[in-house]
Chain A
Amino acid sequence: MLVTAQALYRNNHIYNQCICIDNLYKSEIFRDMNILVCVKEVLAPGISENLREAFPGKILSHINSYDLYGIEEAVLLREKFPGTGVDALTAGYESSSRVLRKALEMGADNGFQILLDDSLSTESSHVASCIADFISEKNYDLVITGVLSEDSLQGEMGGLLAGKLGLPYAHSVMKLDYQEEDRSIHAESEIDGGTRILYRLTLPAIISVQSGINAPRYPKLSNKLRAKKQELVVIDPGDREISSPGKVRVARYRRESSPAGIVLQGTGEEKAETLLHILHEKRLLR
């Protein structure tokens, strides 16, 4: 039965007609490899859940663009190794279900949402603890995060999870290969100067992917419709104690980009003439 279900699933034509088998397959016992992709809702600065209620219908957030590369990489792995299951997880406000839908549209099998509120609980160390708990319950072989989130710019989630779970970690990955025979991955981390370090990690492992590792797909309409209907699994972190992160933000403000140089004035033509004059004086023009 198990073999038949997998074989059927792999045939895309039949898959479209066999929703029940699809659901069976989503259960992790049917999978050869379990991948979790962590995705984040990026909010405009200063936006809290309360403010969002004041602007109903206004889109004040989007999926962290680095996470799109993570979803794509997981879906590419599943295309190559059809026994692979891809789950997407987010930890955030209720509105973060939007970014899970995006992951489903791109091909994730299931979406999990850890609900957080406005308080300290969105602090990264607490988020990492919640996600680490989820991962240890679920037996994932590979966890993928984006290298950075566009709002906090900390670039820390992969490393925090690896530390909490004691798993091997590769950061800023630009090329990923799975070795089925010994259940390991080869991950090329891109460091400064474009140098690449080729790491071998035994699964289970955690990686963060750098932008440019792949070209994230535009979802097909059929996938969009499927994602719209699919139920998400909502997880209440309950009364998990929030430990002090040891740091506090005391202010946030718009960067004053006081121009260091000269802002050219006048019409476009005048600016063009001024610039050409400067470049000519420096003998740079042909």
Chain B
Amino acid sequence: MILAVIETIDNKPVPGSLEVLGLASGLSGETGAKIRVVVPVSSAKKWEDPFREAGFSLCLMENETLSSYNHEVLVQGLAELAGSLNPRYICFPGTVFSGSAAPLLASLMSAPYIASVEKVKKTGDGILFTRPTHGEKYLEDIVTDADTSIISARPGSFTYKEGPVKSGSEGDVTVFSFTCREKAISIEEVKYAHRGRSDIERAEVIVTAGRGAGDEDGIIRVENLGALFRESAVGATRPVCDRGLLPYTQQVGSTGRRVSPSAYIACGVSGSSQHLAGMRESGMIVSINSDPAAPITAVADYIIVEDLSEFIPLLIKKYRDKYAPG
């Protein structure tokens, strides 16, 4: 059996966490094992099943503190549930919150943890889990021989599309209630970052500065490039925001904003999975980068291998010569 743990907030699924169903479906396809979707809820009565048509069998894991992000309680419940169901795999999405729960569970259960898996494949050695290492420039293949293994998805590598995954009858729903031991953490507040749409979510074109864009001068170059478009905004990768070069409100990626403009122009962006998860749905992706092997080339429609400090001024000059209005 495969347990697929989705995330919920106030008894509703967190959309980004449904990628775990894609991972579990892939794993089920390779192993033939059945999937049970674990849904943390504060009360089973409050769950309105959005997957009724999908044919998954559900386990509503019920505890009054599970209406919010409490990994401590979640993990206690999962360990107890796993003790009775004895699953071969427990799958998590590639979200940050699940990144706190999965290793904790692995540690409690003395189970191996294989994080950020982007591919599963059956071979003679068993199931091969492929995951990135070393700045995502390398891949490794892992096999596991444990009774239970904890697996998490690489953000953006698996998708769950709305609608039936398997045709046929509705899946069964079971309820698993548990009481947890004394709690050492408490949630004081949940602060939502981005209520309402921001400029970068509205823009037709996003020009994004990555680490390779350079320092302050590099950011100005990227901003100047943005000025060539009718409706544009400047985006940033996490390292650029960490360095204080642009504000976090302009960060694109899984912990920033998820965007899908008509055109996304990535300047000096290497393309971490967290960044790709936030922009891969863009209409057209252009990468300008001096590194021809940057992971972003795997999703870009047009790849330009050039030094930004020379290429952007050149591009602006050519634009002025030929296209500039008036």
Contacts and interface: CB of A to CB of B under 8 A. Distances in A.
B205 A284 contact: yes
Interface in A251-266: 251-255, 257-264
Interface residues of B, number: 104
Interface residues of A, number: 81
B200 to A, nearest CB: 12
Given A128-B107, A151-B133, A246-B145, A286 B190 contact: no
A269 interface: yes
B115 A155 contact: yes
B72 A168 contact: yes
B112 A125 contact: yes
B97 A159 contact: no
B299 interface: yes
B301 A272 contact: no
Given A192-B16, A193-B194, A202 B306 contact: no
Contact of A250 (B71, B100, B141): B141
Contacts of A151: 133-134
B41 to A, nearest CB: 18
Interface SS of B by simple majority: mixed
B96 A192 contact: yes
A250 B306 CA distance: 36
B149 A276 contact: no
A250 B126 CA distance: 11
A263 B303 contact: yes
A194 B251 contact: yes
A245 to B, nearest CB: 6
Contacts of B97: 171, 189, 191-192, 197
A276 B323 CA distance: 9
Interface in A213-252: 215, 243, 245-252
Interface in B299-315: 299-306, 310-311, 314-315
Contacts of B318: 269, 272-273, 276
Q: Which of B106, B262, B292 has the most CB of A within 10 A?
A: B106
Interface string B235-269: 00011011010001001001111100011000000
A264 B262 CA distance: 20
A171 B71 contact: yes
A162 interface: yes
A146 to B, nearest CB: 13
Given A164-B107, A190-B96, A264 B298 contact: no
Contacts of B254: 192-193
Contact of B103 (A155, A168, A196): A155
Contacts of A170: 100, 185
Contact of B262 (A156, A193, A282): A282
Contact of A163 (B14, B103, B194, B310): B103
Contact of A276 (B75, B114, B143, B315): B315
Contact of B113 (A156, A259, A268): A156
Given A169-B104, A246-B145, A286-B230, A255 B137 contact: yes
A83 B239 CA distance: 33
Contact of A198 (B104, B106, B135, B187): B187
Contacts of B100: 159, 169-172, 189
A167 B191 CA distance: 24
Given A159-B107, A262-B303, A255 B96 contact: no
B302 A264 contact: yes
A160 interface: yes
A192 B300 contact: no
Contact of A252 (B102, B138, B187, B293): B138
A191 B14 CA distance: 12
Given A199-B187, A200-B186, A247-B143, A262 B315 contact: no
Contacts of B311: 268, 271-272
Contacts of A186: 188
A260 B326 CA distance: 37
B217 interface: no
Contacts of B192: 193, 195
B320 to A, nearest CB: 11
Q: Which of B100, B102, B104, B186 has the most CB of A within 10 A?
A: B100
B180 interface: no
A158 interface: yes
A272 B191 CA distance: 43
Interface string B120-159: 0000010010011111111111111110010000000000
A3 interface: no
Given A163-B104, A189-B100, A192-B95, A215 B191 contact: no
Contacts of A158: 103
Interface string A16-41: 00000000000000000000000000
A190 B184 CA distance: 19
A57 to B, nearest CB: 22
A183 interface: no
A201 interface: yes
12 contacts: A154-B113, A161-B107, A169-B72, A169-B104, A186-B188, A192-B95, A215-B244, A245-B112, A247-B149, A252-B138, A276-B322, A285-B323
Given A155-B116, A192-B14, 11 more contacts: A155-B103, A189-B100, A196-B190, A210-B255, A246-B146, A247-B144, A248-B142, A248-B144, A257-B293, A262-B303, A276-B323
